[in-house]
Amino acid sequence: MLFFKLEADKINQNPNILAIGIKSGENRTKIWGRWQYESEKSMVSDFAKWFLEEKDKIIVGFNILKFELPVLLLKLSIYSKNENNDFNMEKFEKFFLKLNRSNILDLFVILTFLRKGKIKGFKDYCMEIDIKFKERKEILNLYYNSQYKEFEDAITLNLNALQKLFLNCIGKND
């Protein structure tokens, strides 16, 4: 199982990806941060190459189907068309197929269904069952103030919160 979090500077049209974080079931966390790369293109390409090497997974996220995965796919699609990029169209197609064949669990969709259509955000669900998390505004402030270690810690905290929220959904306590 792979818990997935993408942080972007905005949630509307054409966001810049600031970081991609994953947490595997073995409690291994990995974060690709924009400050670690010369460009967004090299960061998302590096993540995609990593993903292609991983075993097939169940991918869990919050609003992953409406925001995070579409943004990632859009960026990779654009970048794979550039001739000067080692993440070419062939690799993009492999990434797309692997992602398409993955089992994707979107907790936003699941919880909205379980709550009979009542829509709540990640923050609301975490507060409801007393899970520690960092709010998006705080995370963005850390990034813009170049507090990258704290930024990574906040993403890790939210990946842990995502995992706890998932376990709560399936009736297991960690």
Q: Is residue 71 in some structural domain?
A: yes
| Coil vs helix vs strand at 30 | strand
Q: Provide the pLDDT for residue 84.
A: 66
Assess if residue 162 is contained within a domain.
yes
- Pairwise CA distance, residues 132 & 135, whole Å: 10
Give the whole-angstrom CA distance, residue 113 versus residue 118.
8
The DSSP result for 121-152, as a single string, is: -HHHHHHHTT-----HHHHHHHHHTT-HHHHH
Q: Quick one: pLDDT at residue 80?
A: 87
The answer to whether position 174 is within a domain reads no
Contact 156, 19 (CB under 8 A): no
- Antiparallel, parallel or unpaired: β 17-24 and 29-33: antiparallel
Query: In this prediction, what percent of the chain has a pLDDT beyond 70?
Result: 97
* CB-count burial class (<10 Å; 0-12, 13-18, 19+) for 170: exposed
Q: Give the C-alpha separation, 22 to 159, whole Å.
A: 7
**Residue 17 domain flag:** yes
Domain assignment of residue 8, yes or no: yes
Q: Answer whether residue 7 is part of any domain.
A: yes
Q: pTM here?
A: 0.92
For residue 27, being part of any structural domain is answered with: yes
The rounded distance, in Å, linking the Cα atoms of 133 and 16 is 22
Say which CATH number the domain at 44 has: 3.30.420.10
Residue 85's pLDDT band, with cuts at 50, 70 and 90, is low
pLDDT for position 108: 95
| DSSP helix/strand/coil, 37 | coil
Q: In whole angstroms, how far apart are CA 125 and each of 75, 105, 107? A: 29, 16, 10
**Average pLDDT over all residues of the chain:** 91
Asked if the model's pLDDT at residue 173 lies above 90, the reply is no
Q: Is 31 part of a structural domain of the chain?
A: yes
Segments forming the whole domain that contains residue 107: 2-169
**Number of domains comprising the chain:** 1
Q: Given phi > 0 = left and psi -120 to 50 = alpha, else beta, which region is 98?
A: alpha
Other beta carbons within 10 angstroms of residue 19's beta carbon come to 23
pLDDT at 87: 78
Question: How confident is the model over 53-76, as pLDDT tens digits?
Answer: 988 779 999 999 999 999 999 999
DSSP 97: H
